[in-house]
Amino acid sequence: MYHRTMNTNKPRLLFLITEDWHFWSHRLSWARAARDAGYQVIIATRVTQYGERIKKEGFKLLPIRLQRGSKNPFKELLAIMEIIIFYYRERPDIVCHVSIKPILYGSWAARLTSVPAVVNLLTGLGYLYMVGGIKGVLLQKCLNIAYKTALLMKKSKIIFQNPDDASMFLDAGVVSPRNLVVIKGSGVDISTYKPIAEVSGIPLVILASRMLWDKGVQEFVDAAKILQSLGVKAQFALVGESDIDNPTAIPRLQLETWQKENVVEWWGNRNDMPNVFAQCHIVCLPSYREGLPKALIEAASCGRAIVTTDAPGCREIVRHGENGLLVPVRDSKRLAEALKTLIEDPVLRARMGARGREIVVAEFSEEKVIEQTLAVYRELLEKHGRTG
C-alpha cells in the first residue's frame, strides 16, 4: 500500500537534480509553475550555494550527496541508497529526474519504492555519446543497456529536448514511442530577455556556456585568431566558468593563457545575462552536440544573430540564413567565415536578430514549455488517480 507521509490533498512532486545552481538557473520557473498549479514541490539536490534561496521559495529541500563527476563505486552506491531512502520516506506521487545520473539512479529507486509516476528529462546525451572509436561504441552500448533497464516503468515518460536524441534512443530500442515526448528546451522568459538595439563600436562576439572542450571553445578561439590575422575588427569574449565535475572541462590556466595572449577575453561566470547579450553583437556556440542550449534561446530572444554548429540541439533554435548561420562541427575555418559575414554586415545581423525573436516567441517561450511539461505531469497523475 502506498501511504503518504503528510496529510495533504496536494500531489507531491519531487525534482531530483544533481546541482542546486542548475536547478536555480534552469528549473526554478518550472517548480514555481508546478507550485502555483497545486503541487507540493520537493527539491532533492546537492547544495552548494542556493539552498537558502530554494527554501525561501517555499520548496522542501533535501540535500543529497550525489555528484556528477564521481566514479567511485562505493560513493555511487551510497548515493543510490540515499535516493531510495528519500523516496520511501517522502512518498512522492510523481518524480522528475533531470539529466543522466538522476535518471538512472532515480528510476531504479522509483521502481524499488513503487513511486507511481516518473518523468525523466534528458537535457543532453553527455560527453560519452561523443567518444569515438571502439571505446565509444562499447560505452554507448553499456549506457543504452543501463537506460533501458531504468526506463521500464509503464507510468513514466522521458522528455527529450530535440528530435535527434529521441530518434537515437528509439532506433537503439532504449525507449518506446508511448513513453517518449519531445519538448524543445527549458524555455525563456521573453519579458526578461527582450530585444535591445546594438551598442555602437567594434562588434563583440561572445560564447556563453560552461567552459568545456566539447562546447567548441577551442574552435571559437581558433576562429578569433584567424579573423585577427585577417585584420577583421572585432572583440571576442568567453562567458562562463569551467566545470571541474565534467571530464571535458577546460583548465583555468588555459583560459587565463588565452586572455593574456589577447586572443579572447574571459569574463567568467555572469549572473546578468540580459545585460551581457545587450553588450554583444553576435552570439556563437560551436558545440559538438546539445540537448537544446538555453544560451542560444536567450540570445535569440534578445534579438541577437547567432552562429552555431549544424549539430543536434543547436539546429533546433537556428534556421540557417534566417536567424543565424550554421557551420560544420569542429571546423574553425568555416566558423571564422560565418562570423566574418555577420561582423561586417550590421543590416544582416539586425534582420536575423528580429527573426530570432519571432521564433522564440512562437516556439520557445517559458510559458509554452512549462505548459507542455505540466501536461505530461497531469497525464501521468490521472493514470494514477490523482490530479494536479
The alpha-carbon radius of gyration of the chain (Å, integer) is: 21
pLDDT tens profile 30-67: 999 999 999 999 999 999 999 999 999 999 999 998 88
Question: What per-residue confidence (pLDDT) applies to 73?
Answer: 85
Cell 507511481 belongs to: 116
Q: How far is CA 377 from the centre of its chain?
A: 20
Q: What average pLDDT does range 162-186 have in this prediction?
A: 90
Q: How far is CA 173 from the centre of its chain?
A: 24
C-alpha distances in Å from residue 94, one per residue of 37, 45, 86, 231: 14, 16, 13, 57
Q: Is the pLDDT of residue 296 over 80?
A: yes
Contact 148, 173 (CB under 8 A): yes
Distance CA 363, CA 367 (A): 10
Q: Is the pLDDT of residue 6 over 50?
A: no
Question: What per-residue confidence (pLDDT) applies to 29?
Answer: 94
Higher per-residue confidence, 146 vs 329? 329
Closest C-alpha to 204, from 276, 309, 303, 299? 276
pLDDT tens profile 66-121: 887 777 888 889 999 999 999 999 999 999 999 889 999 999 999 999 999 999 99
**DSSP 3-state assignment of 338?**
helix
Choice among 143-157, 314-328, 334-348 with the minimum mean pLDDT: 143-157
Distance CA 128, CA 136 (A): 7
- What count of residues does the chain have? 388
C-alpha distances in Å from residue 164, one per residue of 56, 125, 168, 185, 197: 38, 10, 6, 13, 34
Task: Give the pLDDT band of residue 1 (cuts 50, 70, 90).
Answer: very low
Ranges 134-143, 178-187, 215-224, 379-388, most confident: 215-224
Which helix (H) or strand (E) segment holds residue 207: the answer is: strand 204-208
CB neighbour list of residue 251: distance below 8 Å, 6 or more residues apart = 242
Question: What per-residue confidence (pLDDT) applies to 208?
Answer: 98
Contact 168, 184 (CB under 8 A): no
Q: What average pLDDT does range 331-356 have in this prediction?
A: 98
Distance CA 368, CA 185 (A): 10
Question: What per-residue confidence (pLDDT) applies to 7?
Answer: 43
> C-alpha cell of 232?
577583421
Q: Is the pLDDT of residue 153 over 50?
A: yes
> C-alpha cell of 347?
543590416
Q: Is the pLDDT of residue 330 over 90?
A: yes
Q: How many percent of the chain have pLDDT more than 90?
A: 76
Going along the chain from its start, the domains and CATH numbers come out as: 12-187+366-384 (3.40.50.2000), 204-364 (3.40.50.2000)
Question: What per-residue confidence (pLDDT) applies to 17?
Answer: 96
Task: Give the pLDDT band of residue 14 (cuts 50, 70, 90).
Answer: very high
Q: Is the pLDDT of residue 254 over 50?
A: yes
